[in-house]
């Protein structure tokens, strides 16, 4: 409810929206630069992904390579990528979650929707 029963201050709402937009852009830029690691097989396979989930690097310990069993190696690579992507998801929720709540969880403060 607005104090005094008046209309919302549009200037103030616009400032809040602009600040939220700036905060969101800053969080997205920070995520894009983040490098997150994931691993599988006790570290036999390690991957590095960006905060956007793009695969940046892959390291495979020679002990994980068995020419007779490439399926296990493929499974380890997939598990390492999933591990890193789970960390990306957590990081995205930490960085963007509060901002997304402000945008979609009830709209701007003072607005009736």
Give the chain's domains with CATH numbers: 27-101 (3.30.1310.10)
Residue 79 pLDDT: 95
Start-to-end CA span in the chain (Å): 12
- Per the structure block, which two tokens stand in for 108? 């701007």
Least confident of 10-19, 39-48, 74-83: 10-19
C-beta separation of 45 from 61 below 8 A: yes
- The confidence band for 15, taking pLDDT boundaries of 50, 70 and 90, is confident
Give the number of other CB atoms < 10 A from CB of residue 48. Answer: 16
Q: pTM for the full model?
A: 0.64
**Which of 82, 83, 96, 107 shows the shortest CA–CA distance to 30?**
96
**Tens of pLDDT, residues 37-50:** 999 999 999 999 98
Determine the average pLDDT of the residues in 65-82.
94
Helices 70-104 & 10-33 angle (0-180, nearest 10): 170
């Amino acid at each position: 409810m607005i104090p005094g029963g008046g209309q919302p201050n549009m200037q103030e709402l616009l400032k809040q929206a602009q600040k939220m937009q700036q905060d969101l852009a800053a969080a997205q830029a920070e995520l894009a630069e983040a490098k997150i690691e994931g691993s599988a097989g006790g570290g036999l396979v390690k991957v590095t992904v960006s905060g956007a989930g793009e695969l940046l690097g892959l390291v495979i310990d020679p002990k994980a390579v068995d020419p007779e069993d490439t399926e296990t190696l493929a499974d380890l690579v997939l598990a390492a990528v999933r591990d890193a992507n789970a960390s990306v998801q957590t990081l995205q929720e930490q960085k963007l979650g509060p901002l997304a709540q402000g945008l979609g969880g009830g709209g701007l403060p003072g607005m009736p929707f």
